[in-house]
Amino acid sequence: MSSLSDTVLSVIYKRKSVRSFKNGRKEIPKETLEAIIKTAFAAPSAMNLQPWHFIVITNHSILNTLGDALPYAKMLYKASAAVIVCADTKVSEFAWELDCSAASQNILLSVEAFGLGAVWTALYPHEERALFVKNLFHLPENITPLNVIPIGYPDGTEQPKDKYIAQKVHVNAWQSV
Ligand SMILES: Cc1cc2nc3c(=O)[nH]c(=O)nc-3n(C[C@H](O)[C@H](O)[C@H](O)COP(=O)(O)O)c2cc1C
C-alpha cells in the first residue's frame, strides 16, 4: 500500500466522536477551519446538486447558547468552534439529508486529520431542535439545519471503536447471521 492510502485509512480508523475537549477553548486557526470546511464541498451529492451551506461558529457566546438549548450537545460549552451543516431544500428536495450527511462525514474526517476532535450532534430529525437553530440564525424557510458539529482540542478521553463485524458482509448472496 502507498503511504497515501496508509494515511487515509489511518484517519478513517482513528476518527471517533470526541465529546471531551481540553479546557480553555484554544482558538482553532482560521486557515484550519477553512481547510476543514473545504473538504465538505468535496463530498458526493445526488445529481451533483450540492445543496449544502455551512454556518461556522467561533463566538463563545453563540456556542454556549446552542449548548443551553441542545440536550445532547453539552460539549459545546468547551468547544472552540462548531459547524452547522444546513441544506437548501429547494435545491434538493429528495436527497438533501444524504448529501449533507456525506459532507458532514468529510468534516469529521478532516477534523481528525488535523489532530482535532468533533462529534455529530443531531438537529434533524428532531423538529424542535432544528426550529431553535432556525430561529436563532433567522434562517430562510428553505434552509434546514441537519446537525451541529462541535470542534475542539481533544483531551484524549475518547478512543476509536473497532466496529467491524465480518458476518455483516455478504458476498454474492445473503448469508444469515
Ligand atoms: C445521525 C447521528 C446523530 C448523532 N447524534 C448525536 C448527538 O446528538 N450527540 C452526541 O453526543 N453524539 C451523536 N452522534 C454520535 C454517535 O453517538 C457516534 O457516532 C456513535 O456512538 C459511534 O461512535 P464513534 O463516532 O466514536 O465511532 C450522532 C451520530 C449520528 C451519525
- Output the CA 166–ligand 1 centroid distance in Å: 22
Asked if 24 and 91 count as a contact pair (C-beta separation under 8 A), the reply is no
pLDDT of residue 176: 83
Q: What is the DSSP letter of 93?
A: T
Q: Which of 47, 61, 43 is nearest to 146 (CA)?
A: 43
The best mutation among 66, 121, 129, 164 to test binding of ligand 1, ranked by most ligand atoms within 8 Å of the C-beta, falls on: 121
> What length does the chain have?
177
- Output the CA 70–ligand 1 centroid distance in Å: 14
Nearest atom in ligand 1 to the alpha carbon of residue 71 is 8
Within 10 A of 15 (CB to CB), how many other CB atoms are there? 18
- Output the CA 19–ligand 1 centroid distance in Å: 10
Q: Which of 147, 150, 119 is nearest to 133 (CA)?
A: 147
Strand 52-57, strand 121-122: pairing: unpaired
**In the numeric block, which cell numbers belong to residue 124?**
434533524
Amino acid at 147: N
Which domains are present in the chain?
16-154 (3.40.109.10)
pLDDT of residue 177: 73
Query: Cell 470546511 belongs to which residue?
Result: 37
Taking only the tens place, the pLDDT of each residue in 72-121 is: 999 999 999 999 999 999 999 999 999 999 999 999 999 999 999 999 99
**In the numeric block, which cell numbers belong to residue 44?**
458526493
Nearest CA to ligand 1 atom 12: 121
Ranges of the chain whose pLDDT falls below 50: none
Asked if 120 and 104 count as a contact pair (C-beta separation under 8 A), the reply is yes
Query: Cell 466496529 belongs to which residue?
Result: 163
Kindly state if the Cβ of 104 falls inside 6 Å of ligand 1: no
| pTM score, whole prediction | 0.97
Nearest atom in ligand 1 to the alpha carbon of residue 73 is 9
pLDDT of residue 2: 86
Q: 43 vs 74, 75, 119, CA distance in Å?
A: 28, 26, 18
